[in-house]
Amino acid sequence: MASAEPGAEDAAEAEEAVYEEMPCDRMELSQRLAVEELLSTEASYVHNMQLCVSDIRAHLQDKQLPELDLEGLFSNTDDILHVSRRFLKGLEATAGPGQEQLLCISTLFQEFKEEMEAVYKIYCASYDHALQLVESYRRDPRLQEEILDTLNATVPHTGASDLSFFLVMPVQRVTKYPLLLGKILENTPSSASAHSALEAAARAMAQVNANINEYKRRREVATKYTKAEHLTLRARLARLNTHSIAKKTTRLSRLLLHEAGIVAKTEDKEYDDLEEKFQCVASSVATLKENMASYLGHLEAFLQPSPHQCDLQMEQGPAQQHRRLSQLLQSTVFPEFQRVGRLVWQPLCSLSDMLEGPQQLVKKRLDKLLDYEEIQERKSEMGTVSYDEEAAMNTYLAINDLLVAELPQFNQVAVQLLGQILRSFSALQLDLAAQVLHHAEKELEQLPHGHMALPSFWKVVEDSLQQSGAQLRAFCQAFETVTPSPGTQPLTPAEERKVLSLVSKHGPDKLYQVTSNISGSRELDLTLLRGQIVALLQSADTKGNTSRWLVDAGGPRGFVPAAKLRPYSPVQVQQPLMQLLGLDGDTERRRHSYASPEAPRPQVATFTPTFQVVAGFSFAARSPQELSLQAGQPVLLLEPHDKKGSTEWSLVEVNGQRGYVPSSYLVTVPVQEPAGWSLPV
């Protein structure tokens, strides 16, 4: 019996050891299977991504279907494939004994977590848009047929019916990494050396997924507020309700408190610096776009004339040489320079459009910041806030975090694009100058001054310009002082009464004539036309400035530049005083019936100024009812309106022909004849 007991005990111990080893072996087996699953599924995933990028997308590109948005469908799959290939290569290199392999896998995940987050967050944020594109293509029979043809030609073994079969793979893969690591961790004893490393790797990948979800949420908020809505006034009014009015009123009140210094603003130095740089870039782009639009307009106007197509009726000389050079430039150099539209203007417009979204988001951040401050103040007083208020606070934080995270990169890219646009424009300008000089060398050698030294040539140019300038000034002066000779016509009755009224009120020595058109630019300034008669009230303005005079224009009173007035001397007419003023006298008596009929009336010198109407600008008739005019040509005004009574057109007669001309093209000027004042005989 004693000898049998030790044998029984040994058997029991051996059986117990077997039972202890079996769970350990089973755990180790499960661990090994989990590692193999990680490796095999990663290899399969990389293979499918390779098919998606190299085969499916390439096949669709070859079809050249403009309706397909391949960039929107496949997003940054190239970057994902690049990272996944390197990650798979690292996994395959971890082969080794148990715990050592697990340590290598954990280290590999830690090394790739930032790269994975960077590429997968972009793809996941655009994944919903890709699904919308797939759904829209599914409703188009022709596009759906092309997509199915591509899938059958490239990946028939998968049995995929649309692109979503492949597009979902990156989303599924990044979310599966924490699960695979968790499965390996479950089958790793806590006492194992790789246990803590696996825990850290699993936490890291879970954090990567959390960051991707947060980034996607921010992008959704940004997408909501970056859409530029062009609403009509009626649509904007339809959106108004009690809630929106109260919210806008609260924001305005908060903003006024900030500006008044009653409530402190929320300071964010990092964001303020980023926004300042962004606004600087946006302002530069807007200014450059405005200048470039003006430049292209001038370029188009410059290229419109074709002097080489005109017959100059000259066989030789500089004019013919200029004609040949113009023809050469118009046919070869200038058309090529129009590349500026494709290489400068279009990229500049694209950059300007890119700025609209961030500008909307920056503006919306300010609104949400005002809401955030108001809610924070209420929360500090009451201790709690509602669900909607909490959501509003989270919206501000999401917008702020997104701007702080992405504005630096956006500013950098925008500055690079702006610099590239400017460099392209400079290169085009240099190329234009080089080509023009190259083609003009032969023609320049044949010109009279082609062999002159540069200082002597510029002296000739300066002398020619001075001579031409003197001739132009003389011509302008002659045009201003010399009036056409024929056909004078008296003032209309209304104009006569206006001038006579000014004389009766202020005297003839106070009358002045406007020498050129005056456009009032300040308050109390008058807008007058050349030739109008006014009466001087005061030779200075309210501040004592003698360059601005106060005048009476026969009704309105105001200030005009003194330099644009000259004394007016009307033509004397020998007519009885009471005959000219009879109408006004009768009117006054009727208006003031209480006045004594025997009261003496002041003696006022009588006159009838003589005026003529001339064409201030040339006008080309466009219909049989209109009449062509030359600048300075005298006309006879028949009716100051058209048949419908509109004063924009006037009926005139020139050289026996009648027709309508724009009233704004006509100018009333006095006849330059010797005139003086004397008492009636």
pLDDT score recorded for residue 406:
84
Q: Is pLDDT at 259 greater than 80 in this prediction?
A: no
pLDDT score recorded for residue 610:
57
- Lowest-pLDDT range of 122-126, 167-171, 196-200, 472-476: 472-476
Q: Is pLDDT at 606 greater than 70 in this prediction?
A: no
From residue 251, how far is each of 262, 373, 387 by CA, in Å? 15, 10, 20
Rounded-to-integer distance, Cα 680 and Cα 666, Å: 34
Confidence of residue 124 (pLDDT cuts 50, 70, 90): very high
Q: Is pLDDT at 31 greater than 50 in this prediction?
A: yes
Write a three-state SS string for 177-236.
HHHHHHHHHHCCCCCCCCHHHHHHHHHHHHHHHHHHHHHHHHHHHHHHHHCCCCCCHHHH
- The residue that leads in pLDDT, 662 or 244, is 662
- Lowest-pLDDT range of 206-210, 305-309, 468-472: 305-309
Q: Side chain identity at 138, as an amino acid letter?
A: R
Nearest Cα to 407, choosing from 286, 506, 275? 275
pLDDT score recorded for residue 283:
92
Average pLDDT, stretch 380-386? 81
Q: Positive or negative, the Cα torsion across 312, 315, 317, 318? A: positive
Nearest Cα to 39, choosing from 88, 110, 107? 88
pLDDT score recorded for residue 314:
57
Confidence of residue 481 (pLDDT cuts 50, 70, 90): low
Write a three-state SS string for 9-30.
HHHHHHHHHHHHHHHHHHHHHH
- The residue that leads in pLDDT, 85 or 378, is 85
- Lowest-pLDDT range of 162-166, 266-270, 444-448, 464-468: 444-448
Average pLDDT, stretch 215-219? 84
Confidence of residue 9 (pLDDT cuts 50, 70, 90): low
DSSP 509: G
pLDDT score recorded for residue 43:
94
Q: Is pLDDT at 328 greater than 60 in this prediction?
A: yes
Q: Is pLDDT at 677 greater than 50 in this prediction?
A: no
Query: Do you know the residue count of the chain?
Result: 681
Can you give the C-alpha Rg of the chain in angstroms? 44
Average pLDDT, stretch 275-297? 91
pLDDT score recorded for residue 607:
45
- Lowest-pLDDT range of 93-97, 266-270, 598-602, 625-629: 598-602
pLDDT score recorded for residue 167:
92
List of residues 6+ apart from 551 with CB closer than 8 A? 512, 526, 534, 535, 536, 537, 557, 558, 559, 560, 565
Q: How many angstroms separate the first and last alpha carbons of the chain?
A: 175
Predicted TM-score (pTM) of this structure: 0.50
pLDDT score recorded for residue 131:
92
Beta strand ranges found along 447-569 (DSSP E): 489-490, 511-514, 533-538, 548-552, 557-561, 565-567
User: In percent, how much of the chain has pLDDT > 70?
Assistant: 80
Confidence of residue 594 (pLDDT cuts 50, 70, 90): very low
Nearest Cα to 137, choosing from 237, 213, 70, 44? 70
pLDDT score recorded for residue 83:
94
Rounded-to-integer distance, Cα 377 and Cα 237, Å: 31
List of residues 6+ apart from 97 with CB closer than 8 A? none
Identity of the highest mean pLDDT range in 26-30, 261-265, 445-449 = 26-30
pLDDT score recorded for residue 239:
66
Contact (CB, 8 A) for 669 and 614: yes
| Phi, psi for residue 161 in degrees, rounded to 5 | -100, -15
What are the tens digits of pLDDT across the range 566-592? 887 654 433 333 333 333 444 343 334
pLDDT score recorded for residue 230:
60
| Phi, psi for residue 603 in degrees, rounded to 5 | -85, 120
- The residue that leads in pLDDT, 248 or 237, is 248
User: What is the average pLDDT value for the chain, to the nearest integer?
Assistant: 79
Rounded-to-integer distance, Cα 397 and Cα 573, Å: 86
Question: H or E stretch including 635?
Answer: strand 634-639
- The residue that leads in pLDDT, 254 or 424, is 424
- The residue that leads in pLDDT, 268 or 491, is 268
Helix, strand, coil percentages in the chain from 3-state DSSP, rounded to 5: 65, 10, 25
Q: Write the DSSP assignment of 145-188 as a string of letters.
A: HHHHHHHHHH-GGGT-SSTHHHHTHHHHHHHHHHHHHHHHHHTS
Q: How many CB atoms lie within 10 A of CB 293?
A: 13
Q: Is pLDDT at 108 greater than 90 in this prediction?
A: yes
Rounded-to-integer distance, Cα 474 and Cα 477, Å: 5
Average pLDDT, stretch 173-201? 91
pLDDT score recorded for residue 670:
65
Average pLDDT, stretch 79-107? 89
DSSP-H helix ranges across 527-635: 577-591
Average pLDDT, stretch 81-85? 94
